[in-house]
């Protein structure tokens, strides 16, 4: 019986927080607790978690999860849940490596051999966005996600809606499936009109057309539109998702496994979504360990549909930052819009520990940029 002897965390560029758990027998597992712009707060939560878990049986993953979630009295939220996520991933990685099997074998075995993936594209002008979509297509993708709008006023002009439609139309002409992400920038007075205008172009989904703070407005859109509505990166547990499932407000659940309790809670959210006939498309614009955890869930989840992956735009492989900390980056290769289900033990990726430790000597202090509209007022990031 291996017991937890050490829990370390590493703030590494560009904005990630890795977690390393070591047992008294020398075995090691890795996870990711990245919370963009709030890494120092999560590091503090990991320090508190360490006090609970040193000496704990590393095989009792669920008991560790429950201890961290319940015994702090104050539950949930992005900081605590991100800390739990990193430790949970590391414990699953440990268990898989100890048994010589991938985590998805421990979760009941895979239900698919390939994982459909998409990557984000940017660009200020419609033509730039279309060019970026073609570059992704050349990389092997058949689906992308794009910003719906850089700026959208509370009561947007018809021209702003027309511009969003134009951007989507040009990208759809490339033959790619397209998800539209509004980052919660849109407000109720224009959201219904916007979704209605985009519907004829057949978006794969519309993400965060409204923030989850407005379930009553989401209910109106869900009742009036045939476009699949997606959200979930700012929901951190099955209890956070519960009202959205119960009220049939979303069609695609997007938990971020680095924020939403790791593999253990991610699996529960996926099962709950399946019970409400909601698809699963985990959010993950983060590092290789969070992505590897998503792959394990994707492999075992019947209602999984597509996985976000952060890839460089200029070459047919994950970006340099994603590759920096792995010794087996080939497991992230995209072919015909898919990534093969990883077959290696644990999370299926191997961390270059020396590089992680070297990078963490100069911890990042990443903060999201401040965006302002043309009138100088603050905009959602």
The DSSP secondary structure of 348-373, one letter per residue, reads S--B-HHHHHHHTTS-----PPPEE-
CB within 8 Å of 82: residues ≥ 6 apart: 17, 33, 34, 35, 38, 42, 45, 258, 259
> Which of the residues 9, 104, 183, 259 is marked catalytic?
183
Active site residue 183: yes
Phi (first) and psi of residue 9, to 5 degrees: -135, 155
Residue 379: name the closest of 226, 205, 182, 200 by CA. 182
* Distance from chain centroid for Cα 160: 28
Please tell me whether the peptide bond between 14 and the residue prior to it is cis, using omega within 30 degrees of 0.
yes
Straight-line distance from the first to the last Cα atom of the chain, in angstroms, rounded to the nearest whole number: 46
Farthest-apart Cα atoms in the chain, separation = 65
Please choose, from the candidates 310, 250, 243, 259, the residue with its C-alpha nearest in 3D space to the C-alpha of residue 280: 250
- Smallest Cα–Cα separation from 281: which of 299, 249, 303? 303
DSSP state of 234: T
DSSP letters, 162-224, are HHHHHHHHHHHTTT-EEEEE-TT---HHHHHHHHHHHGGG--SEEE-SS-TT-HHHHHHHHHH
3-state secondary structure string across 8-39: EEEEECCCEEEEEEEECCCCEEEEECCCCCCH
H-helix or E-strand spanning residue 63 = helix 61-70
- CA-CA-CA-CA torsion sign (287, 288, 290, 295): positive
Q: 283 an active-site residue?
A: yes
Catalytic member of 259, 283, 314, 364: 283
Residues with catalytic roles: 183, 283
């Amino acid at each position: 019986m291996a017991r937890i002897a050490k829990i370390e965390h590493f703030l590494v560029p560009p904005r990630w927080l890795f977690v390393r758990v070591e047992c008294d027998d020398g075995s090691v597992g890795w996870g990711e607790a990245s919370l963009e712009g709030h890494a120092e707060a999560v590091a503090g939560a990991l320090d508190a978690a360490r006090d609970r878990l040193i000496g704990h049986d590393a095989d009792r993953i669920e008991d560790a999860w429950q201890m961290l979630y319940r015994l702090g009295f104050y539950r949930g939220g992005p900081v605590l849940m991100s800390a739990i996520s990193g430790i949970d991933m590391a414990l699953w990685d440990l268990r898989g490596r100890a048994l010589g099997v991938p985590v998805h074998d421990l979760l009941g075995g895979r239900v698919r051999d390939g994982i459909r993936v998409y990557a984000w594209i940017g660009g200020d002008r419609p033509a730039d966005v279309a060019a970026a979509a073609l570059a992704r297509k050349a990389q092997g993708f058949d689906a992308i996600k794009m910003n719906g709008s850089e700026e959208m006023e509370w009561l947007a002009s018809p021209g702003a809606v027309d511009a969003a439609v134009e951007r989507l139309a040009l990208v759809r002409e490339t033959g790619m499936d397209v998800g539209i992400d509004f980052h919660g920038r849109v407000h109720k007075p224009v959201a219904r009109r916007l979704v209605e205008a985009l519907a004829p172009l057949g978006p794969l989904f519309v993400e965060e057309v409204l923030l989850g703070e407005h379930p009553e407005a989401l209910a109106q859109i869900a009742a009036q539109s045939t476009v699949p509505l997606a959200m979930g990166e700012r929901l951190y547990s099955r209890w956070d998702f519960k009202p959205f499932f119960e009220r049939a407000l979303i069609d695609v659940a997007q938990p971020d496994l680095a924020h939403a309790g790791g593999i253990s809670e991610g699996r529960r959210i996926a099962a709950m979504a399946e019970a409400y006939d909601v698809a699963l498309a985990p959010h993950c614009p983060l590092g290789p360990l969070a992505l590897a955890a998503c792959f394990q869930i994707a492999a075992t989840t019947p209602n999984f549909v597509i996985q976000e992956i952060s890839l460089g735009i200029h070459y047919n492989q994950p970006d340099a930052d994603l590759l920096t900390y792995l010794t087996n980056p080939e497991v992230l290769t995209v072919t015909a819009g898919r990534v093969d289900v990883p077959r290696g033990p644990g999370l299926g990726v191997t961390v270059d520990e020396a590089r992680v430790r070297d990078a963490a000597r100069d911890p990042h202090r990443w903060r999201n940029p401040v965006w302002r509209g043309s009138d100088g007022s603050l905009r959602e990031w």
